[in-house]
Amino acid sequence: MGLAVLGWDVPAQAQSAAETQRRIEAAIATAPTADPAQDGKALRDFYRARQGLPAWSGDNAASGKALLAQISGLALAQGLDPAAYALPTGAGEMDADVLISAALLRFGRDLSVGAVLPARNLGGFGAETRGEFDGARFLKALAEGKPLTEQIDVISPQYVGYMRLRDGLEKARAIAAAGGWPSIPDGAKLVPGDTDDRVPVLRRRLIASGDLGDGLAEGRTYDAPLAEAVKRFQLRHGLEPDATIGGKTLAHLNVPADARARQIAVNMERWRWMPHSFGRHHIAVNIAAQQMEVVEDGAVAMSMRVVVGDVKHPTPSMSTTMSSVVLNPAWRVPTSIANKEILPKLRKDPNYLTSSKLQIVDYPEGSPESAGDGVDWNAIGKKFPYRLRQPPGPDNALGQLKFNLTDSDDIYMHDTNNRRVFGRSYRALSHGCVRLERPVELGELMLGPRWQGKLAENIAANRSTRTLMLERTTQVYMMYWTAWTDEAGILHFRDDIYGHDRRLMTAMERSRSPAPRPASGRS
């Protein structure tokens, strides 16, 4: 049968089944894998199901090499690094079969559930939320001759968002391979009507990214068609669409195409962390875009702007549920805010609690002590010694509504008494909670048809604090997308406000080379 190439003579007289299995186990123990526990088990299960026979030798030797050659191109298209699946050099014959299987397995796992663990500081839901991948089944299908492309369709994310990003990655890489787009020199602000030597460069830059038509490359005057193209670019990047080329817009214009390709690739990795289905009814918050969508029966029923945590208080990515809403909520001030923000203000202004409608709940409501009267705030150390509460009312930081989230690290979604912030393009301004642009509309949708058009009136008529159960418990996904493609195929980008992209890029680079395993000493 020609299976002695790798040191395994299949006929029984050459070696016992037990010896064959021992050698395979030894090869598996030293094969470089990203997840030794899971991948080692998958490899053992795969070879045990084959009664210890090699998979990629003899008559099948060419198929193993062909599969690895296929992976090189396919991995690149999926935002993965082909170098991660190359065979180690200097491998002995005994290890070659297992090494091919390990490389195929690693590619399958990376594509199915991600190359790195979905840690929260990378924009994931937590390392423990990584999905399952049946590696032995994947290898078995390939060993039986089923096409690799067919298996990729089975294991890769089936979300249209992932597929659109994959197309966007191809376009971005094509632009980068062709030399990228031109960089626009620094200078004074450019506004419509200006004539400037940089305008032709701006035209070429916007033509390269598809924001401006090919036939509009000429001219030093910043005319109306160019202004509309700049506005389109600004909207795609979360900037104020004012057609002014200032510092922020210029910085986004000068991000190289290959950098955008890397940004797309890390967002594709986050798609691989997602559950197989979001469900037909759910709420999706894009933290980086500061935007929320309510999905009903698979279609977007409502969207709105939101405020998310600032850089010091990032809103965590999470998968949680919403089951109730509090009308006229009171705000119990978190200890961290009392220590770091309120105590320093009280040292400067002892009447700060009264002016901010805050109460010390350790004392009877309305008493002088509840307002902090008589307390020497300068004599208090770093820790605020009391519990603070802000009662319901027009000055309450939570506004009129608070939506409770399950197991969310004290993060919730709520109204706000400062509605001006929703007019800003940058809205990473909170202490971690998500403030809603139209909370009453969301409440009416979540509470069901009998509340349509009635919630605001009900809140105004009854100022008491009440908790209402939603019509149904709804899944809530708080995700960190800095790159996505809309239904029209248009790429959108946002700033990496928390640094998750940067850390994920580093983690993916490190994942290219699995941790060294002990050398077998065999050839």
Active-site residues: which are they? Answer: 414, 433
Instruction: Give the number of other Cβ atoms within 10 Å of residue 450's Cβ.
Output: 8
Tokens of 234: 């600004």
Total H helices, total E strands in the chain: 17, 14
User: Cα–Cα distance between 439 and 456 in angstroms, integer?
Assistant: 10
Q: Of 51, 74, 28, which Cα lies nearest the Cα of 143? A: 51
Q: In whole angstroms, what is the distance from residue 289 CA to residue 422 CA?
A: 13
Structure tokens at 193: 């009507």
Query: Which residues have C-beta within 8 Å of that of residue 375, sequence separation ≥ 6?
Result: 346, 350
Q: Which amino acid is at 392?
A: P
Supply the DSSP string of 320-386, one letter for each residue: EEEEEEEES--EE--HHHIIIIIHHHHHH-TTHHHHTT-EETTS-TTSGGGGTTT--GGGS-SS--S
**In contact, 44 and 54? CB cutoff 8 Å:** no
* Cα 327 to Cα 467: distance, rounded to the nearest angstrom: 6
Q: Which among 330, 286, 308 is positioned nearest to 482, based on CA atoms?
A: 286
